[in-house]
């Protein structure tokens, strides 16, 4: 009887390898990790589906094909773990520096005495007493500047 290849024989291994390569080479851009994560999940799902198919009728498929799909599953798991860890690092980085930037901006543009943001006061033309304003018109647009007294 003719033994054929499993449907995921080449593709699961290829997706897993691409996922690992993107994680290892894409360290400069944190957003590529999402692509790597998706490729690893796709490779894992396809490999699991083919292995289930092999388990239902092992006599229809070659052992070499099962071995290739198992290797693809292992490489996809490695890509999933690496990209998952890198994704957590990128999210932690964004959360930490986002919070830091928020605190700096809040300390810079928030007047604790009046409990108002200086940006809101500028937009509403209600200036805080500690500042004096100069108005400059450029192309019919009013620009207000604030200087500390």
Collapse the DSSP code of 4 into the 3-class scheme (helix H, G, I; strand E, B; otherwise coil) and give the result: strand
Residues 69 and 29 in one domain: yes
User: Which is more confidently placed, 21 or 98?
Assistant: 21
Residues 82 and 43 in one domain: yes
User: Which is more confidently placed, 100 or 20?
Assistant: 20
Closest CA to 41 of 21, 60, 26, 19: 19
Q: Is residue 40 one of the residues assigned to a domain?
A: yes
Residues 68 and 138 in one domain: no
pLDDT of residue 101: 77
30-87, pLDDT tens digit by residue?
Answer: 778 888 999 999 999 999 999 999 899 888 888 888 899 999 999 999 999 999 898 8
Q: Supply the pTM of this predicted model.
A: 0.66
Residues 17 and 64 in one domain: yes
How many domains does the chain contain in total? 2
Q: Is residue 16 one of the residues assigned to a domain?
A: yes
Q: Which residues contact 40 (CB under 8 A, 6 or more apart)?
A: 15, 16, 19, 76, 77, 79, 80, 83
pLDDT of residue 41: 95
The residue length of the chain stands at 149
Collapse the DSSP code of 127 into the 3-class scheme (helix H, G, I; strand E, B; otherwise coil) and give the result: coil
Q: Is residue 4 one of the residues assigned to a domain?
A: no
Residues 33 and 66 in one domain: yes
Residues 22 and 66 in one domain: yes
Residues 89 and 127 in one domain: no
Residues 80 and 17 in one domain: yes
Residues 90 and 120 in one domain: no
Q: Which domain holds residue 42?
A: 11-97
Q: Which residues contact 102 (CB under 8 A, 6 or more apart)?
A: none
**Is residue 138 scored above 60 in pLDDT?**
no
C-alpha dihedral sign at 65, 68, 70, 73: negative
Q: Is residue 77 one of the residues assigned to a domain?
A: yes
Q: Is residue 106 one of the residues assigned to a domain?
A: no
Q: Is residue 105 one of the residues assigned to a domain?
A: no
Q: Is residue 44 one of the residues assigned to a domain?
A: yes
């Amino acid at each position: 009887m003719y033994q054929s290849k499993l449907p995921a024989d080449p593709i699961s291994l290829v997706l897993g390898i691409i996922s690992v390569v993107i994680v290892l080479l894409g360290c400069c851009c944190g957003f590529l990790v999402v692509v790597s994560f998706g490729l690893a999940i796709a490779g894992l799902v396809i490999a699991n589906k083919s292995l289930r198919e092999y388990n239902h009728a092992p006599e229809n498929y070659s052992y070499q094909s099962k071995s290739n799909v198992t290797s693809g599953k292992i490489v996809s798991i490695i890509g999933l773990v690496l990209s998952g860890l890198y994704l957590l690092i990128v999210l932690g980085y964004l959360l930490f520096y986002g919070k830091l930037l928020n605190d700096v901006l809040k300390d810079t543009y928030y007047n604790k005495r009046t409990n108002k943001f200086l940006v809101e006061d500028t937009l509403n033309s209600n200036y805080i007493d500690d500042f004096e304003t100069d108005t400059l018109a450029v192309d019919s647009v009013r620009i207000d500047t604030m200087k500390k007294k």
